[in-house]
Amino acid sequence: VCCVAGARVDVCAEPLQRNVLLCVQAADLTIQLSAERLKSAPAAPKSFGTVFTDHMLTIEWTEAEGWGAPRIQPFRNLSVHPACTSLHYSIQLFEGLKAYSGEDKRLRLFRPMLNMKRMSKSAQRVCLPTFDESELLECIRRLVELEQDWAFLSESSSHLYIRPTFISTEATLGLKKPTSALLYVIVCLVGSYFSSTSEGLSLWADPKYTRAAKGGNGDCKLGGNYGGSLAAQAEAQRFGCQQVLWLYGDDQQITEAGTMNVFLYWINEDGVEELATPPLDGIILPGVTRQSILDITRKWGEFAVSERYLTMDQLCSALEQRRVKEMFGSGTACMICHLSHIVYKGEKLSLPSLDGDSLLSTRITKEVEDIQFNNEHISWKLGRS
Ligand SMILES: *Cc1c(COP(=O)(O)O)cnc(C)c1O
Ligand SMILES: *[C@@H]1O[C@H](CO)[C@@H](O)[C@H](O)[C@H]1NC(C)=O
């Protein structure tokens, strides 16, 4: 990061960079209001990510000029060169976080600095420039503040989903480090997930597909990681399952469930009660929800909480010996999602389905919600006057 405490500085961490890199500066933010505010019908969106609010945040960057002034402007289509390297070589990345509405009619962002840090890490992975994380967060806060009424339009759209995106705008078919880029943030409506505490998600596991590999970039939210997972997802659906349980390596390690981190609550092979999730060894996306679950359950101190490898063999024998208590996925989209069964080697492995209230996932969900909606220290209120 080439910026210090919000001040413009012209020192850069990269010694080879000749040009001065300026920071993203929230103080330079300009706001151009849309003529048609709250124009769209506020009906609950039929599917995720289809109804957007009226404004977007854009910040341009060039190697020569550094970061331009952040702008909040009416939501609009982008115009990019057909050779733009984000389209050809996926020199781009994204983030996903939500603003939650509380009973006091205020919105809160949940641990948003973790998203900013992860975004910065993704940028480094595709040689896009870094930025001042707290300055960008302040710009996003201003955007959400402007759009906050969208979150209170109806019962069904109780929070906003925020999608920071960062793309190379370099117009060349040459594969090279970008010299121009656009960082933008759009906001969409999401229905409440509380109604959908269903029977749980079904997963299909087959070692022929791998989501991420050691030394690769599966630990970054780069678009290319997701487009390439669709064929496996389609195959899972042909097997009657909703998502893929991604396996890795000859020992068929359990890594992630769809685009969620995965947790196993069980009596482990040493007879110890344990909540386990795979370690961040490069093939796991470091989820904010994952980290929060680890933090919360470690604080409880009621059972072992481990970041450790879990293989299909270990899961299968634990299921045979009735040592599995519960399995769930975690991510911003659904927060915590109970898993019902896994189709593996032509067999259906049923996961225990206790009644909702006794589930560990239900208990964790309650505590995370308390933080999202009420706790002033971790979440971050938007002013609502
Ligand atoms: C985004 C994502 C997650 C969840 O991360 P959160 O920060 O909890 O939303 C997990 N796995 C993958 C592959 C993801 O892209
Ligand atoms: C933006 O692009 C979409 C899809 O190409 C198009 O349907 C829409 O009319 C465009 N909007 C404007 C304002 O040009």
CA of 36, nearest ligand number: 2
CA-closest residue to ligand 1 atom 14: 259
Structure confidence at residue 199 (pLDDT): 77
Domain boundary among the residues 189, 215, 235 is at 189
Ligand 2 centroid, distance to 76 Cα (angstroms): 8
Q: How far is CA 242 from CA 203, 235, 245, 341, in A?
A: 6, 10, 10, 10
Tell me: do 72 and 153 sit in the same domain.
Answer: yes
Structure confidence at residue 99 (pLDDT): 92
CA-closest residue to ligand 1 atom 5: 287
Tell me: do 243 and 119 sit in the same domain.
Answer: no
Q: Which residues pair with 71 in a beta bridge?
A: 30, 58
Tell me: do 114 and 231 sit in the same domain.
Answer: no
CA of 74, nearest ligand number: 2
Domain boundary among the residues 155, 189, 223 is at 189
Tell me: do 205 and 290 sit in the same domain.
Answer: yes
The residue type at 264? L
CATH number for the domain spanning 366: value is: 3.20.10.10
Ligand 1 centroid, distance to 97 Cα (angstroms): 10
Tell me: do 45 and 96 sit in the same domain.
Answer: yes
Nearest-atom number in ligand 1 for the CA of 96 is: 9
Ligand 1 centroid, distance to 262 Cα (angstroms): 10
Tell me: do 303 and 325 sit in the same domain.
Answer: yes
Residues 284 and 218: beta-carbon distance below 8 Å: yes
Structural domain includes residue 90: yes
Q: How far is CA 379 from CA 2, 236, 348, 370, in A?
A: 27, 36, 40, 10
Nearest-atom number in ligand 1 for the CA of 114 is: 7
Structure confidence at residue 23 (pLDDT): 74
Tell me: do 71 and 132 sit in the same domain.
Answer: yes
Tell me: do 246 and 106 sit in the same domain.
Answer: no
Ligand 2 centroid, distance to 78 Cα (angstroms): 9
Ligand 1 centroid, distance to 161 Cα (angstroms): 14
Low-confidence ranges of the chain (pLDDT < 50): 1-21, 193-197, 385
CA-closest residue to ligand 1 atom 13: 259
Q: How far is CA 22 from CA 3, 129, 307, in A?
A: 7, 11, 39
How many structural domains compose the chain?
Answer: 2
Q: Which of 285, 292, 293 to mutate to test the pocket of ligand 1 (most atoms within 8 A of CB)?
A: 285
pLDDT digits (tens, 9 = 90+) for 238-277: 999 999 999 999 999 999 999 999 999 999 999 999 999 9
Tell me: do 66 and 184 sit in the same domain.
Answer: yes
Ligand 1 centroid, distance to 71 Cα (angstroms): 28
Ligand 2 centroid, distance to 43 Cα (angstroms): 21
Structural domain includes residue 88: yes
Owning domain of residue 271 = 201-374
Structural domain includes residue 15: no
Within 6 A (CB) of ligand 1 lie: 96, 221, 256, 259-261, 285, 287-290, 330-332
The residue type at 107? L
Structural domain includes residue 326: yes
Structure confidence at residue 192 (pLDDT): 57
CA of 79, nearest ligand number: 2
Tell me: do 232 and 367 sit in the same domain.
Answer: yes
Nearest-atom number in ligand 1 for the CA of 118 is: 7
Structural domain includes residue 196: no
Tell me: do 221 and 184 sit in the same domain.
Answer: no
CA-closest residue to ligand 1 atom 15: 259
Residues 279 and 286: beta-carbon distance below 8 Å: no
Tell me: do 174 and 114 sit in the same domain.
Answer: yes
Nearest-atom number in ligand 1 for the CA of 290 is: 8
Q: How far is CA 110 from CA 252, 367, 381, in A?
A: 33, 13, 9
CA of 291, nearest ligand number: 1
Structure confidence at residue 4 (pLDDT): 34
User: What is the 3-state secondary structure of 33-65?
Assistant: CCCCCCCCCCCCCCCCCCCECCEEEEEEEECCC
